[in-house]
Amino acid sequence: MLTFGRKLPTEKNPVDLCAVVQESERLLHRVLPAAVKLDVDIACEPPLWVNADQTQIHQVILNLAINARDAMPNGGTLRVSVSSTAESNVQSLPDALALGGPLASLVVVDTGAGMPPEIQARIFEPFFTTKPRGQGTGLGLSIVHGIIREHGGHIEVRSEVGKGTTFTILLPCIPSAEVAQPVTPATITPAGKGELLLLAEDDPHVLGIIASTLDSLGYNVLLAGDGTAVLEMSARYGEDIRLLILDVDLPAKSGPACVRTLRERGVNTPAIMITGNVDFDLAELDDKTVLLRKPFGMPELANTVSEALGRDPGQEARS
């Protein structure tokens, strides 16, 4: 598997996996069409503690749900379950992981088209997709795979053509006695109404994560990898683009430079500028642009996008 040049910052804390899945359930209802039934089964008494970045676990669940949704264009059932299991009950767990002790099991099952073995063997490869060009980045499942590996876990897929697909994720549990200050899952409220957003980021890993998050929040997303593409796509789609989300350090033309050029062309589309540079000069932003600093979680992204779409010009930029 390829290793991307930059990784999203990971902030791991003791979290209750059952609570994270319960919080994700609201978003799953937003992602899934009416023809797909959602069945969530959480068997967690007492809480199932894992050392995890809850934002990234949300992302895993959402990416798998989006993958399942696309596999069931005519409807079906998506089942998400959480439980505790002993390592001795897991036959396919690689010895190299050496998780030890009880495991948290997250299982996502769909009744979609299923996959033949040759497709199953490649689904975690970056940029691999069976979707038509322009309908997927091919990054969703590779991101899931990378996140689970970063968390010291294991993911496997089983699928049968015509019957559906099952993803099983295993994460090492934390004994309740070792949980000092657990983190409460953040509340995320979907706010999108199908608005078209233009997202520009040169790191494909980060691009894929943000894009799938925006998709799960109810937005339609155009993707660009550099400043030149931003200007070209803005000219092509015009006022259909409701919001620009640009990394500050884009190749060819920086995010702030893109916004300045668009303003000179009379384009007043609001923008969010993303950066991890603590020394970024806020003076580079106009009154229709807000700043979102890395690292950020899904709630921060959701709230910033919602505010940017509905905010008044001149509102103070986020820092």
Give the pLDDT confidence score for residue 182 in this predicted structure.
Answer: 53
Whether omega before 117 lies within 30 degrees of 0, making that bond cis, reads: no
Domain end point (choices 151, 178, 205): 178
Statement to judge: residues 26 and 88 lie in one domain: yes
Task: Give tens-digit pLDDT for 180-204.
Answer: 655 555 555 556 888 899 999 987 7
What is the Cα–Cα distance from 92 to 103, expressed in whole angstroms? 13
Segment 204-255, tens digit of pLDDT: 767 877 887 887 787 888 888 899 999 999 998 999 999 999 999 999 999 9
- Of 178, 212, 236, the residue that ends a domain is 178
If asked whether residues 272 and 148 sit together in one domain, one would say no
Whether 165 and 38 share a structural domain: yes
Q: Please, what is the average pLDDT of the chain?
A: 81
Quick: pLDDT tens for 298-318.
778 888 999 999 843 333 334
Judge if 156 and 278 occupy the same domain: no
Tell me how far apart the alpha carbons of residues 197 and 220 are, in angstroms, rounded to a whole number.
6
Q: Among 19-33, 68-82, 125-139, 231-245, which is the least confidently predicted range? A: 125-139
> In terms of domains, do 88 and 146 share one?
yes
The answer on 156 and 18 residing in a single domain is: yes
79 lies in the same domain as 167? yes
Per-residue pLDDT, 94: 55
188 part of a folded domain = no
- What domain range includes position 269? 196-310
Per residue in 62-84, pLDDT (tens digit) is: 889 888 998 999 999 999 999 98
* Residue 76 near residue 164, CB atoms below 8 Å: yes
> What's the average model confidence in pLDDT over 83-104?
62
Whichever domain contains 24, its CATH number is 3.30.565.10
Cα 225 vs. chain centroid, distance in angstroms?
Answer: 18
DSSP string covering 265-288: TT----EEEEE--TT--GGG--TT
Q: What is the CATH number of the domain that holds 225?
A: 3.40.50.2300
Q: How many domains does the chain have?
A: 2
